[in-house]
Structure 1
Amino acid sequence: MPFKRPAPIPHQGSESGESSPSRPPPAKQQKSSMQKALPDITVYIVQAKLDVGAIAELFELAERHTKGACRNAMDADVIITAIGMRRRLERHVPWDIAETKAVVTPAWLRDSVDHGRALPCGDYVAIQDLLETTVEHCPDCNCKPCACSDGDSEAATPRFEAKQLPSPLSSPSISVKQRAMSTSTKKEEKKPVLPKPVPEHLLPPDPPIPTNLAKLDYMSRYACQRASPLVCPNQALVRELDIIRRSRDLEGEARSALSYERAVSIIKAYPHEIRSLKQVEKLPFIGVKITGLIEEFLDTGKITEAQTINASERFQTLSLFSSIYGIGPSTAIRLYNLGLRSLNDLEVYYGVEPEDVALQSQIVEVEEKPRKPAWQRGQHKGDEGLGDSWTRVALGLREDLAKKISRAEVEEMGRVVMRELEELEPGCVSTIVGGYRRGKAESNDVDIVFTHPDPSKVKGLCKRLVRKLHERGMVTHVMHLSNFHAHNALRTHHWDSLEKALTVFIMPPSSPFHTGVRRRLDLIFAVPDVYWTAVIGWTGSIMFQRDIRQWAKDKHGMKFDSSGITRRYDSKEFFPKTEKEVFDLLGLEWVEPKWRNADL
């Protein structure tokens, strides 16, 4: 679990600021109180067997005299613990991680601060089984030459270099500040400054990694283990079942809708045309009710229930209303029960006037709420509770937003946005995600994930880009604008914590695709460490992502979403360097985006 920082305890020293008489400082400690005694060391404090006062003292010492106390043991140079038994320590720190760190008692930190330097860890080892590895990984001054005792603190070189473990996953131990300092140092050494190449791990592989279809199992209960093509051999059957699924969803019958969604997903992955019930009787998620529907389809080429639903006024009206951004199933039902049946009725009800669209053409930042990302909006178009103002705007834009976007135009939108972003912050990379990436010929909207090799340049970049596009007349409306939030392993909803803007976009006059038609454009920004989880999350499809989350939870005790991968029991974060490494980390066979169409 992440550490909980208790309230600091009062300083025990005298009014003159001298140290407590119980532990007088040595004569060597004559340095300014502003200088850190252990500036290059990061510690991880295990709170077990420590009282509140001791925890507060250790965190205060870490903040004042070290690089800081980190949230994960893997990121630390030194692990501080009062535990003396291996089995007890393993409850808080995996043993394989403890063997790569110096594991010491709290006295090491106190005495090192008193002496103004890192003391040898062997004298303070917490668990005798870790004596050799603690001495080996100890960052004390006696291990390497240093200038910490010559009194010239400004000219002193670092006492040690933090050791990094070889791993296919990038370690978060290198902070944003360190990267920025490293970058600035290189710029001073080499003049003139040349543009840095984009790191290879932020670029897609060339050629793309093929999927080994033989290793995927169409009988798996998880869509992330199946190959689901855009158009399957049983597409007509899938369409019939999906009508019933959409009806259940619009009526608020979530459990029933999920049952049909799973059935559609398993049939999408079935590699042969279904000609008899024997082919489907052993497939998962195909129950008695759906088996009967399949049997009817095999006999007649249609499903009566689906045909009846599709022809009903209620289904057509609810589908029409829920296609408007800001109107979800419950609002659509309420409007239907009020007697509304057409978009003209909605315009009268909401009081839509021609000038309403122009009045709303401005950047508006709305409160962050748990909502579904772009790849989920095929299930619930829009969100409840956005307010009548956005519903009026969406109604005014409905004709434009209902038009499909060709792949060529999607790519042109990506180029236009990247040109503007390059002027704003050179060196960014991006991936167009959503249905486009899964191979769809036309899209309802465009989703683009961005990052920059320097994490410090990503924060706030989304808002800057949106403002620039708005000033250039390309972004006419912003329906959602949010900042980064910490990745939370305990979060129950799946609206990620990335920085994003959901906008209405219009091509500039210089573009060959400039027609004056407004398009939905979602801009998503991620730091480089979670770039590929963001790309996977926003690529979709809905069921594919749902089952990745379920697989990560069931098989590995992890939480997966667009903003990262976290181990649930201790909130440890993992940072895969490539898209395939996400699959490798979760123990999944690689599935190309074109095989992730687990929904209609």
Structure 2
Amino acid sequence: MVPLKRRKLVCSDTGNTGTDSRGQTKFPQVVLFLLERKMGTSRRAFLSQLGRRKGFQVEELFSERVTHVICENNSGDEVRAWLDSQSGGRAAAHLLDISWYTESMRALHPVEILDRHKLQEPQISESEVAVFSVPSYACQRRTALDNYNTTLTEALSILAENAELSEEEGRGVAFRRAAAVLKALPSPVTSVSQLRGLPCLGDHSLRVIRDILENGASSEAESTKESERYKALKVLTGIFGVGSKTADRWIRDGIHDLHQLRASEQTLNRSQQAGLEHYDDINQPVTKAEADAIRGIVEKAVNSVLPGAEIVLTGGFRRGKVMGHDVDFLITHPQEGREVGLMSKVVSWLESQDLLLYQKTTRNSYLESKDGPGRPASNMDRFERCLSIFKLSKKEEPGAENLKTVTENKLGRHDHGLWRAVRVDLVVSPISQFAFALLGWTGSKLFERELRRWAGHERGMSLSSHALYDNNQSRYLRASSEEEIFTHLGLDYIPPSERNA
């Protein structure tokens, strides 16, 4: 539990010291302390004054003199953890429910302590409490999709997202790293004491964890979810092409929802216009079946213009997710150089079939000889890519066998009952960089960040989605597979399904 702020002891008259009119202590062997946690400041002050008027010694601060700790709505293990956190805490103090205190007030003396007055403490020895241990970097840990601490990780993720939307990247990363540690644990966390010595768990994250363990939910995470600013940022950044800076500017202009944005005179660029038009579809989760259907379309498009090319579904779906917010594909060709100019041909084919609602294509701007390992400040790669919005048939989830029906019918833009809009990213990589691109585009985002941090801090290397560069030897380390990259980094290989940090 979070230690309570210590208050100065105020002694204003003899009535506050638990003495009678002759200055003698009525019950010298009983020294009470009321725990403010869950009781509240005002109620604690009232009950303390009541006890003193009845002749009891009620301490303002916890000390070794305290013989009875009075609690309200606290469990025994919560209070014991709080006592252990206090310097000079006494294990011998009675931990009592408020009922003992009120009965003693009515009786005008300390009543007998019965079992019903005692806080129930689990009889677990220190050796029986599992203390967890995990490696410091997420890229050293195996993290499956499901974890044992979803209540904790979801609260931390909300706080991370709120920090990121508020342009507080450092705080966001701290919460993400804390959540990643909890995701990797082999069993549920039942006590903060189990987390002793674990990496990446700062004071703020530990306060959130304590709050959940003690109260069932994080008050900070809940208040964040309900805040008007957070809800507005979520809605506005849900528009394709709108980042947190743009959303923040709109909020300062009084725009908090889509209706207000549409009614405003804000100038939207082409991607934002498309994002607003197809907002509901884009913010609806994409299923694995829909991703597979889009893969069939992409394969038909690529093979029609470059036979022999390879297409890999990346992102969360490669890590085993059954739902996602978009679909990412990595495309290459076994012969170096054959992939040059491929994207424009693929996009032309898709547009000829009326399957794109929006697209923006960028050229490959990475030159190894000039750029070195290629790590821009944003860690964005510089492959040839197409950011697009696909038009996907709703009539059935099309696979390769019925693509002919989908493409030949050329679904009309206004027949929205027959199709839905889906965000799709297409990325083209030379085969020499394909292993690095595949690793980078598989994710998770934090796993990739931790890989780069490990490479730099622990190995003296620079890693990007283009290359791995050994700064000590001043040379590139080539790789034709993800396994080779892990070997270069001195890490055990972790398959995509266990990179869900």
Aligned to 1:426: 307
Q: Distance in 2 between matches of 1:571 and 1:401?
A: 44
CA contact (8 A) 1:350 1:392 kept: no
Aligned to 1:207: none
2:243 to 311, 328, 347: 328
User: Structure 2 counterpart of 1:459, which letter?
Assistant: V
1:395 to 276, 284, 287: 276
Aligned to 2:102: none
Task: Kindly state the Cα deviation for residue 571 of structure 1 after the two structures are TM-superposed.
Answer: 5.1
Aligned to 2:288: 407
2:362 to 448, 465, 481: 481
User: Structure 2 counterpart of 1:389, which letter?
Assistant: R
The structure with more radius of gyration: 2
Cα-to-partner distance string for 1:297-329 (whole Å, 9 max, x where unaligned): 111110001111111111101111111122211
| 1:269 corresponds to 2:184 | yes
1:492 to 376, 390, 393: 376
How many equivalent residue pairs? 348
| 1:442 corresponds to 2:341 | no
Task: Kindly state the Cα deviation for residue 481 of structure 1 after the two structures are TM-superposed.
Answer: 2.5
Alpha-carbon RMSD:
2.0
Aligned to 2:297: 416
Structure 2 gaps, min length 5: 1-131, 399-405, 407-417
Cα-to-partner distance string for 1:111-146 (whole Å, 9 max, x where unaligned): xxxxxxxxxxxxxxxxxxxxxxxxxxxxxxxxxxxx
CA contact (8 A) 2:375 2:464 kept: no
Q: Distance in 2 between matches of 1:278 and 1:218?
A: 12
CA contact (8 A) 1:347 1:392 kept: no
Q: 1:571 to 1:518 in 2, by over 3 A?
A: farther
Q: Distance in 1 between matches of 2:148 and 2:454?
A: 26
CA contact (8 A) 1:433 1:539 kept: yes
Q: 1:456 to 1:492 in 2, by over 3 A?
A: closer
Q: Distance in 1 between matches of 2:344 and 2:305?
A: 11
Task: Kindly state the Cα deviation for residue 567 of structure 1 after the two structures are TM-superposed.
Answer: 2.3
Task: Kindly state the Cα deviation for residue 348 of structure 1 after the two structures are TM-superposed.
Answer: 1.9
CA contact (8 A) 1:218 1:266 kept: no
Q: Distance in 2 between matches of 1:531 and 1:578?
A: 8
1:258 to 173, 181, 186: 173
Q: Distance in 1 between matches of 2:488 and 2:138?
A: 17
TM-score of the aligned structures, taking structure 2 as reference length: 0.66
Q: Distance in 2 between matches of 1:429 and 1:593?
A: 19
| 1:245 corresponds to 2:148 | no
Cα-to-partner distance string for 1:31-59 (whole Å, 9 max, x where unaligned): xxxxxxxxxxxxxxxxxxxxxxxxxxxxx
| 1:588 corresponds to 2:473 | no
Per the alignment, in what secondary structure is the counterpart of residue 264 of structure 2?
helix
CA contact (8 A) 2:148 2:187 kept: yes
User: Structure 1 counterpart of 2:175, which letter?
Assistant: Y
Aligned to 1:18: none
1:298 to 206, 209, 213: 213
Structure 1 gaps, min length 5: 1-216, 353-386
Task: Kindly state the Cα deviation for residue 569 of structure 1 after the two structures are TM-superposed.
Answer: 5.1
| 1:545 corresponds to 2:448 | yes
Per the alignment, in what secondary structure is the counterpart of residue 426 of structure 1?
coil
Task: Kindly state the Cα deviation for residue 509 of structure 1 after the two structures are TM-superposed.
Answer: 9.0
CA contact (8 A) 2:240 2:275 kept: yes
Q: Which has the higher contact order (CA 8 A, sep 6+)?
A: 1
| 1:346 corresponds to 2:230 | no
Q: Distance in 2 between matches of 1:415 and 1:472?
A: 14
Task: Kindly state the Cα deviation for residue 520 of structure 1 after the two structures are TM-superposed.
Answer: 0.8
Q: Distance in 2 between matches of 1:531 and 1:580?
A: 13
Q: Distance in 2 between matches of 1:597 and 1:509?
A: 30
Q: Distance in 2 between matches of 1:503 and 1:589?
A: 36
Task: Kindly state the Cα deviation for residue 350 of structure 1 after the two structures are TM-superposed.
Answer: 4.9
Task: Kindly state the Cα deviation for residue 412 of structure 1 after the two structures are TM-superposed.
Answer: 1.7
1:520 to 388, 407, 423: 423
Q: Distance in 2 between matches of 1:470 and 1:218?
A: 53
1:467 to 336, 341, 348: 348
CA contact (8 A) 2:393 2:420 kept: no
Cα-to-partner distance string for 1:527-585 (whole Å, 9 max, x where unaligned): 11111111110010011000111111122222111112122356522321122111112
Q: Distance in 2 between matches of 1:518 and 1:399?
A: 9
Q: 1:510 to 1:264 in 2, by over 3 A?
A: closer
Q: 1:253 to 1:456 in 2, by over 3 A?
A: closer
